């Protein structure tokens, strides 16, 4: 799939969360494959730096859209600013998480997480999905997680948002495949990124964002990609347990990550 991705999806890709981490890695991986890239994130200065580096390294066209996808109307602004572009791929990589007992977290922060991780993903997927169907080809990559397949104590709300994304991707894959649009859920484990730092997580075996992006783009025909060795190991080992057992194991994993962050 990696060879014909530009032919099937090009010429433009929209990548959210493109200022750092997985989103940034997707932007560079797509530019390397010949795509022009729309970079979406909150920090305009960081996006401008990414755009400059992409143009310098790959000669790709870029467009920067600095918006906070947690705010009402932000997704609509992205859609409007891409109206005249021939967008063939959406990578919805923007998102954030948290670690700690839910009732000790600020409700406003957790609600904002739902807005960014779920509502904005829905709005962008709905709008760009319609455009891809109209052109008869394209792809949508939605960022799921290893925690999407069971509850995750001490990260309960984040896991719930990723369960939504995983389910959305699985359902849309069968809806849109007959219309020429590929949909894949990318479900990594811990990743070296600002996301992990913001969530208060640390794991010595975390995958590099470049591994996540490149492995996903190589496997766009799959329903779910689990990039990185740890994601594959966790997915396989947890699948052997009943759901209640997976939740208990995930509770121990999250406690370990929280301890690592405070060490």
Locate all alpha helices (DSSP H) within the chain, ordered by sequence: 5-9, 21-32, 44-58, 74-81, 107-114, 120-135, 156-176, 194-199, 209-218, 229-239, 243-262
Q: Examine the residue annotation and report whether 164 is marked as an active-site residue of this protein.
A: no
Q: Which bin fits 136, alpha (ψ -120 to 50), beta or left (φ > 0)? A: left
CA distance 2 to 134: 23
Nearest to 72 by CA among 106, 119, 125, 24: 119
Under 8 Å between Cβ of 181 and 140: yes
Query: Which one of 96, 158, 164, 195 is the catalytic residue?
Result: 158
CA distance 243 to 117: 23
Nearest to 176 by CA among 144, 143, 137: 137
Query: What residues act catalytically?
Result: 158
């Amino acid at each position: 799939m990696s060879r014909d991705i530009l032919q099937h999806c090009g010429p433009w890709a929209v990548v959210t969360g493109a200022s750092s981490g997985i989103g940034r890695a997707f932007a560079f991986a797509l530019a390397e494959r010949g795509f022009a890239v729309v970079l979406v994130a909150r920090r305009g200065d960081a996006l401008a730096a990414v755009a400059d580096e992409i143009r310098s390294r790959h000669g790709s066209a870029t467009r920067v859209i600095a918006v906070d996808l947690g705010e009402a109307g932000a997704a609509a602004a992205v859609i409007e600013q891409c109206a005249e572009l021939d967008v063939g791929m959406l990578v919805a990589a923007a998102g954030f998480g948290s670690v700690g007992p839910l009732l000790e977290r600020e409700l406003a922060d957790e609600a904002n997480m739902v807005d960014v991780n779920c509502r904005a993903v829905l709005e962008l997927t709905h709008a760009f999905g319609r455009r891809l169907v109209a052109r008869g080809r394209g792809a949508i990559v939605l960022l799921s997680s290893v925690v999407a397949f069971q509850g995750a104590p001490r990260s309960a709300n984040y896991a719930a948002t990723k369960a939504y994304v995983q389910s959305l991707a699985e359902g849309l894959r069968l809806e849109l495949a007959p219309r020429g649009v590929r949909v894949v859920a990318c479900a990594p484990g811990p990743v070296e990124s600002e996301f992990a730092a913001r969530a208060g997580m640390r794991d010595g075996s975390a995958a590099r964002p470049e591994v996540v992006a490149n492995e996903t783009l190589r496997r766009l025909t799959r329903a779910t990609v689990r990039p990185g060795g740890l994601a594959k190991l966790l997915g396989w080992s947890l699948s052997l347990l009943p759901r209640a057992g997976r939740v208990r194991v995930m509770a121990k994993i999250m406690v370990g990550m929280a301890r690592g962050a405070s060490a």
